[in-house]
Amino acid sequence: MDWITNVEGLAEWIRSWGILGVIGSIVLNIAISVAGVLPSIFLSGANAIVYGLVGGFFVSLTGEVLGATVAFLVYRYGLQKSKGLQKLEKFSWIHKINESSRIRKGLAIALLRMNPLIPSGVINLGAALTSISFADFLLATLVGKIPSMVFETFVGHDLVYLSENKSRLIISLLAGSLVFLLFWKREKSRSS
């Protein structure tokens, strides 16, 4: 239960900033996204504690979308500068994605974003390696992040306030598990 204490501590830190806590939370979310490997569920839970479920959702969604945008641009620019993008374009999966339509690229990003168990950094880097346009990436990220952020906000909040929200937490976890199983089953059938 150490991480619950961490979420509460993070919530207190955000609260201590007053109105600037919104900006601090968004900047922290951007840093998490650029790092690419840190989970944001703790920050989403802290935002829900400080700003309520609806306010926390919007603060977290803003931070996630801005973070994904910054990460995408940093990765793409960094790869172009280092000529790494040209070297990686020979991989068949990148070539296959680049040949698909704008709608398919955007849909793929949105669907990957809906699964809260896939790290955002992996999606940001993968998208940066493809030819998806910035506008399409941004729109797909926004659309795909909404369900994921609802999940993270509720779960992060309800784990801290477990005694008050057991039923909702169970429903959220079951819904998240169902999404994960649907993705897993779909990928398994594609591989077969």
Once rounded to an integer, what is the mean pLDDT over residues 92-101? 77
Domain count, the chain: 1
Q: Residue 191's pLDDT band (boundaries 50, 70, 90)?
A: low
Residue 42 structural domain = 2-191
CA dist 141 → 10, 27, 81, 110, 175 (Å): 25, 18, 24, 6, 20
pLDDT digits (tens, 9 = 90+) for 35-85: 877 778 788 889 988 998 899 999 999 999 999 999 999 988 887 777 665
pTM above 0.85, yes or no: no
